[in-house]
């Protein structure tokens, strides 16, 4: 994924908590070095070992979505979104759902740090 990607949009997903603050506006990053580091971070996630039919509650807080594109405004090449139920990251490539990836404890913090964002993501 890393060679075709030139743009990433990071979106903070809303929390299920009705009292939580509204998420900030999505941020689009075009700095190729940052985009490539974020793509490599997603690429480094292992496949989840949790079966597709496992029953897990949804995470209580919001999460983040990374939408990778070849150019600004272009169609998504890949989308990674998490945390999803069972501590996974939902991943699609070319518009097709792929096997879930395993979320690491530091994934969201690493994304925010690489992107220079100071969001409070639960």
pLDDT per position as a tens digit, 70-103? 999 999 999 999 988 888 899 999 999 999 999 8
* CA distance between the termini of the chain: 27
Domain map (residue ranges) of the chain: 7-48+60-115
Q: What is the pLDDT of residue 122?
A: 63
28-32, 46-50, 55-59, 68-72: range with lowest mean pLDDT: 55-59
What pTM value is reported for the model?
0.90
- The Cα–Cα gap between 35 and 25 comes to 18
CB 89 within 8 Å of CB 47: no
Identify the band that residue 57 occupies on the pLDDT scale cut at 50, 70 and 90: confident
Place of tokens 């964002």: 117
Q: Say which residue, 61 or 120, is predicted with more confidence.
A: 120
């Amino acid at each position: 994924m890393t060679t075709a990607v030139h743009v990433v949009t990071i979106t903070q997903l809303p929390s299920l908590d009705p009292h939580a603050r509204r998420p900030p506006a999505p941020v689009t990053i075009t700095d190729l070095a940052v985009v490539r580091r974020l793509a490599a971070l997603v690429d480094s996630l292992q496949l989840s070992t949790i079966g597709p039919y496992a029953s897990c509650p949804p995470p209580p807080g919001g999460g983040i979505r990374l939408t990778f594109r070849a150019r600004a405004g272009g169609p998504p090449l890949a989308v990674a979104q998490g945390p999803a139920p069972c501590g996974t990251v939902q991943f699609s490539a070319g518009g097709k759902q792929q096997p879930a990836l395993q979320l690491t404890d530091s994934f969201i913090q690493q994304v925010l740090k690489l992107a220079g964002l100071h969001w409070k993501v639960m």
